[in-house]
């Protein structure tokens, strides 16, 4: 007989914050977070200095899994062009799920507005790392201007994620041709 260990109050709070903020936004109340986690407000404030710190920790906890779903493995032998297209294929695939609400890191930055908010700083770092990934791949692929292409790819990524997340557009047949045009124009192989 195996018994699964019940997640700690901290883990339950992090998971509740991830689920509720992704579905309903960062303005979810402390009461709702604690109720969803099955944790008292007192316990929450013993574990986290503030709701802001909880939101930041929740985003931080999800970062590795988020990146792993988007980026190919470091030892992936595909060309830089194919590695960039892989990222957009992942977003396209994820966007088909009914529970897709866009990039959680972009959403946090947009909702919070305050770039100094702890969760906004985490989100900014994740988004900057994605742009850096695009830049490195663009450089490897021989792009004429890797910095510009990385920024363009980030713009397409965020725009596609946001539009699909609000149900304004379907990504299949839209994102790959757009990215391919950018890669062709930049000379990426």
Over the stretch 91-130, which tens digit does the pLDDT of each residue have? 999 999 999 999 999 999 999 999 999 999 999 999 999 9
Q: What pLDDT, on a 0 to 100 scale, did the predictor assign at position 1?
A: 57
| Of 113, 108, 104, 103, the residue nearest 159 (C-alpha) | 103
pLDDT on residue 22: 95
The pLDDT value given to residue 3: 62
The residues, ordered by sequence, that sit 6+ positions from 88 with a Cβ below 8 Å of its Cβ are 156, 157, 160, 175, 176, 179
Query: Which letter does DSSP use for residue 145 in this model?
Result: S
Please say whether the beta carbons of 162 and 103 come within 8 A: yes
- The pLDDT value recorded for residue 2 is 57
How high is the pLDDT of residue 65? 95
Q: How many helices (H) and strands (E) does the chain have?
A: 9, 0
Crossing angle of helices 118-140 and 104-112, in 10° steps, is: 130
Residues in the chain where the model's pLDDT stays below 50: none
**How much is the pLDDT for 164?**
97
Domains by residue range for the chain, with CATH: 57-186 (1.10.357.10)
Task: Please count the residues of the chain.
Answer: 189
């Amino acid at each position: 007989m195996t018994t699964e260990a019940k997640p700690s109050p901290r883990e339950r709070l992090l998971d509740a914050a991830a689920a509720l903020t992704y579905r309903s936004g960062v303005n979810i109340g402390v009461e709702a977070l604690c109720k969803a986690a099955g944790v008292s407000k007192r316990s929450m404030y013993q574990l986290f200095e503030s709701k802001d710190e909880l939101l930041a920790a929740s985003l931080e906890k999800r970062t590795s899994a988020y990146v792993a779903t988007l980026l190919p493995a470091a030892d992936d032998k595909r060309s830089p062009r194919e590695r960039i297209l892989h990222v957009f294929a992942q977003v396209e695939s994820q966007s088909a799920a009914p529970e897709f609400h866009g990039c959680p890191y972009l959403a946090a930055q947009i909702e919070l507005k305050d770039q100094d908010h702890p969760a906004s700083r985490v989100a900014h770092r994740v988004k900057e790392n994605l742009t850096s990934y695009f830049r490195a791949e663009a450089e490897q692929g021989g792009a004429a201007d890797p910095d510009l292409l990385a920024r363009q790819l980030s713009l397409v990524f965020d725009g596609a994620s946001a539009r699909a997340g609000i149900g304004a557009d379907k990504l299949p047949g839209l994102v790959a041709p757009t990215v391919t045009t950018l890669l062709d124009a930049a000379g990426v192989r």
